[in-house]
Structure 1
Amino acid sequence: MAFDQQSGRIFQAKSLTTHHELSQGVWDCLGKAELHPSALANRIHGSTIAINIAIEEKGARTALVVTKGTRDVYKIGRQNRPEAYNFSFRRPVPLTARSAIFGVNRKDCRLVAKF
């Protein structure tokens, strides 16, 4: 989506994700909206590919690196509930298993882990 501040015109385009070349979808949208990149002062691009990978659980195996001693904070989350009076509320399932969360010393800038 693009917005021309001078004319108030909104340009919008959508295209399918091109898995083999992710940038192609961006170029397709610019073409459909008849916009040239040099005419844009700011660019923001959104893609559903990351969301789809998370939902479908088809992405690469991942790990989470945290400060040593805070490994469980990701699972525990905040101590409050977003819906305090909803007795059916369930926290979302973490995207990374506890076995794939690694704590490192803050001074340590390298981590070697084997899954």
Structure 2
Amino acid sequence: MGPRIAIDVKGRSKKIITMETKLEIIKKYEEGMCIVTLASAYGCNQSTISTIIKYKEATKVSKSSKGMTVLASGTTSINDEMETLLILWIKEKEIAGDTLTRSVISHKASAIFTDLVEAQKDGGGEGTS
């Protein structure tokens, strides 16, 4: 069973299933495990498992980070690509020994996003700085 995150919502604890666990549930369902068995194995309601199965295609194509728990409705492939490129840039800066502040990272994320949007308008080419 994958990790579950507990958050406090209106005075009660709410468990959130990570994307990694959702993919695991989908895989087991496709291998023939029934919803009732999955629900008891993961300690959640059958309706939760059914909802995960219902949105399995969107979950599969998502390139979400390991710690992600939900697919935001406004998230696009540009956001995913921007996040990937930003993480690579941060790692390069860390290797180089540069100090990064929140404002520097935010500015770079904005620049990468703008470049990706412009590249998409121009025909989909790479255009990050």
Higher relative contact order (CA 8 A, sep 6+): 1
What's the TM-score, normalizing by structure 2?
A: 0.23
Greater fraction of residues in helix = 2
TM-score, normalised by the number of residues in structure 1: 0.25
Larger radius of gyration: 1
